[in-house]
Structure 1
Amino acid sequence: MGATSVYGRRDIALIRFVFFVQPLILGAWFPRLAEVQQAIGAGEAAFAIALTGMSIGIVGSLVFASRLVARYGLKCVFLASFCAFLSSMPLASLAPTIGWLFAALVLVGASLGAVELGMNVTADAIERRCGRLIMSSCHGFWSSGVLVGSLIGSSFAWIGASPAQSLFSLAIAVALPCLWATWSLPNVAEPDGDNSATPGRLRLTGSLLAICCFLFGMAMTEGAMADWSAIYLRDVFALGPGPSGFGYVLFALFMAMGRFLGDTMRSRLGAGRTARLCVSVAVGGGILLLIAPHAEIALIGFGLAGLGVSTGFPLAITAAAEQDGANPTSNVALVTQIGIAGFIVGPLLIGFIAEPFGIQLGLAAVLPLLGISLAFSGAVRQRSGL
């Protein structure tokens, strides 16, 4: 399709389907991490370092992905990276040592970064040309895919299937639907595209930096909740292994709900007001976690935090892609890098604070980070005409 094509319901349904199916195998990986750690025989610290391989791969791939898109076109890069992701994710579960696991996850992250770039650039182009707000709901489908994948992974574990068996089975099951849907999507960025900015080249502006600052605080909070919620509930309220996982479950559920509601909020309130409202809700959740006298209050805090940070990434992606005179692919790649960096840095920061001061005060460190996001929430602007 050319640059002037108008996309319709079929294209919206296809990109939402891709957003849902792509993270299924990723979600199935998370419940099996304890078994992978046990099979390798690694301690917590070494295993944590190995797991950073995926994030390093994502950040590294985004440095080059926009240049590959400019040279070969988005659909070509999208399809190739999808194949690589579906192939490499199950192989990581077979890693015999920490070193091999780290290397395998770097490959997984490198392919995943390009897949995420393709999905977000395509969703932005479809949103812009179909005249409907869809970015936030697309990320809602992604969050739902992770949750469904987690249930699938847990079910495989319950019947006694190994991590490798479950991941290979799921990869085979989703391969054809994923690749068919990706192939059927419009090619929104041809080789040597017609963007006014030089293809593949980033124009770093003050407004783009402000968008990155907005997202960084939100992403750091999301990463902190993902890695430390169970430990917070265990250490502060002495919950067992099962109940201590409820914090992240509520966080993830409310994040998915917020993303499905995000497009409606953006259409009624505008992007700036939506950003300020959501960050304020996340701040309220963080305050509850700081002062919670009982586990039930803390669980409400986790839910509010998930609802609050839910729209951060969709709003940032949309705002970055619509920068005047800029290359959308390069801008989306940069914003995604910043988001992943925040997701990595957040848990590390919490850990450093929690070691001497305790996990409750450590997790409350998300409050100044959210203050940064609130200060830069005006950087996300409503697209004209939508």
Structure 2
Amino acid sequence: MTTDISFLERRSKLWRYGLFALFVITGVALASWVTRTPAIRDEIGASTAEMGLVLFGLSVGAMAGVLTSGYLVARLGGRPVAAMGISLVCLGLLVLGSGAAAGAAPGVFAGLMLFGAGSGLMEIALNVEGAALEKLLSRPVLPALHGCFSAGTVIGAMLGIWLTSIDFPVSWHLWVVGALCTPIALWAVRQIPADTGKESAESTDTPRLTAAERLAVWREPRVLMLGLIVLGMALAEGAASDWLPLIMVDGYDLGSTAGSLVYTLFAASMAVGRFSGEFFLSRFGRVIVVRTSAVFAAAGILVVVFAPHPALAAAAVVLWGLGASLGFPVTLSAAGDEQHQSAARVSAVATTGYLAFLAGPPALGLLGEHVGLRNAMLAVATAAVVAGLLARATARPPAPKSVPRVRTPA
């Protein structure tokens, strides 16, 4: 018995470390090209609106990944889907670097499309894995997992800042990161247990759902509200990832290195918020944490929009990052509360959140072309406020009431 417990503890640790590594890699990969967005823009000679259309490649790929990920996890399990996803992320960096080297917008579009497809596939699978690990350990795991993603973005952003400051070619930067992430990803995928989230016709724990049953999850009022919360908070996070360096460069006349440094500050704030998430959740509960996070995010964005000086805007980015840090992972935890169809609900809510990452870049780019990138962020602040108003949906559902036994006369 002791041996079995020791084995399970060891396997759960490796499972957790594998997920940690995959989240870190994704963060490093994302920040590697985000911090070089001004350089990529200059390489291909794109305007703000044209850059929004190039970023639409990320949306196209992510849409394909997100829409197929839930089905693939149900049929194959989380591990093979995560493996496919991280492979496409690494390949996307290589293609993105090649497109930048050639000064070809279609090449950058293709690289972002591969990157988006990998992210969509992998992160739905990893969130299902994280929710399952939370149930096994009976404590919050998703905030720390997403904290690893934010830590990865800090690492990637610091590397990007340094390479930008020494005028290192953006193409070589992306090629090297893609090549270095690949062996770590191979090790990490092997630590994930097989069949997590896989549905089987023979299983009573995770029975295979019909298409009608899977769609029915999307019509549940609580799932819809959780999806709207994730939509708003993911937009708050994604808007910074896609546009914050350019906001600081174009909106405040900072240099590319300074713009990347501000993004790094945002990513570091996200990491701090997520790694401290378990502390605040245990003391205040989900509803207060999500509501406060939404207020912080909206307030930080408003200051960035209206600040008269770049130093004040940079300081407000800390508030923006702290506010955007916990909404996504906490809401996904809430989606996995109920045992029946838990994986389907997590997948549905995560998919809704990724719609923000899909529609956000091109929509904000087109809006920014007309009103300026800073003013376009007002739409993001509004979405965060709506998420805060719906925070009550993250409360744990009441346990089913036991039916009292009725005594029959002897």
* TM-score > 0.5, shorter chain as reference: yes
1:314 alignment counterpart: 329
Deviations 1:234-260 (A, max 9, x none): 666554554455543332221111111
Question: After superposition, where does 1:5-154 map in structure 2 within 5 Å?
Answer: 8-95=12-99, 96=102, 97-154=104-161
Identify if the C-alpha distance between structure 1 residues 228 and 129 changes in structure 2 by more than 3 Å, giving closer, same or farther: same
> What's 1:342 paired with?
356
* CA distance in 2 between partners of 1:50 and 1:149 (Å): 21
CA–CA separation in structure 1 for the residues paired with 2:384 and 2:29: 31
Answer whether contact 1:214 1:376 (CA < 8 A) is retained. Answer: yes
Structure-2-length-normalised TM-score: 0.81
How far is the alpha carbon of 1:72 from its aligned partner? 2.2
> What is the alpha-carbon distance in structure 2 between the residues aligned to residue 65 and residue 49 of structure 1?
24
Partners of 2:161 and 2:260 within 8 A in 1: no
- Structure 1 pair 138/199, CA: closer, same or farther in 2 (3 Å)? farther
Larger radius of gyration: 2
TM-score by length of 1: 0.85
**CA distance change for structure 1 residues 171 and 360 in 2, over 3 Å: closer, same or farther?**
closer
Q: Please give the alpha-carbon distance, in whole angstroms, between the structure 2 residues aligned to 1:85 and 1:287.
A: 33
Offset of residue 326 of structure 1: 1.9
* AA in 1 matched with 2:382: P
- Whole-Å Cα distance in 2 between the matches of residues 131 and 384 of structure 1? 17
- Residue aligning to 1:376: 390
2:301 touches 2:320 (CA, 8 Å); kept in 1?
yes
- Maintained 8 Å contact 1:221/1:346: no
Measure the CA separation in 2 of the matches of 1:384 and 1:186: 31
In structure 2, relative to structure 1, the CA distance for the partners of 1:362 and 1:174 (3 Å cut) is closer
Secondary structure of the equivalent of 2:131? Answer: helix
* CA gap 1:182/1:102 in 2 versus in 1, 3 angstroms: same
Counterpart secondary structure, 1:195:
coil
Query: How many Å separate the matches in 2 of 1:358 and 1:207?
Result: 36
Q: Is the 8 A contact 1:272 1:382 kept in 2?
A: no
Are 2:31 and 2:160, in contact at CA under 8 Å, matched by a contact in 1? Answer: yes
**Which consecutive residues of structure 2, in runs of 5 or more, have no partner in the other structure?**
400-410
Q: Deviations over 1:26-63 (max 9, x none)?
A: 32223334444444444443333122211221122121
Alignment CA distance shift 1:199-1:163 (3 Å): farther
Alignment-derived partner of residue 193 in structure 2: 186
Partner SS for 1:93 = helix
Report 1:202-351 matches (<5 A).
202=215, 203-204=217-218, 205-230=220-245, 232-233=247-248, 238-289=253-304, 292-328=307-343, 330-346=344-360
Counterpart residue number, 2:408:
none
Contact 2:53 2:362 in 1 (8 A): no
Counterpart CA distance in 2 for 1:160 and 1:287 is 33
Question: Structure 1: which amino acid aligns with 2:88?
Answer: A
Q: What SS is found at the alignment partner of 2:227?
A: helix
For residue 113 of structure 2, give the secondary structure of its aligned residue in structure 1.
helix
Q: What stretches of structure 1 of length at least 5 have no aligned partner?
A: none
The answer to whether the 8 A contact 1:69-1:189 is kept is yes
Question: Which of 184, 192, 195 is 2:206 aligned to?
Answer: 195
Corresponding residue of 2:380: 366
For 2:84, give the aligned amino acid.
Answer: A
Query: Structure 1, residues 101-149: CA drift from partner, whole Å, max 9, x if none?
Result: 3233222221221111222111111111012212101111101112212
Across the aligned residues of Structure 1 and Structure 2, the Cα RMSD in angstroms comes to 3.2
- Per the TM alignment, residue 197 of structure 1 is displaced from its structure 2 partner at its CA by 6.3
In 2, Cα distance between equivalents of 1:235 and 1:31: 14
**Would the aligned equivalents of 1:199 and 1:327 in 2 still touch at CA under 8 Å?**
no
The residue type equivalent to 2:318 in the other structure is: G
Deviation at 1:351, TM superposition (A): 5.4
- The number of residues matched between the two structures is 381
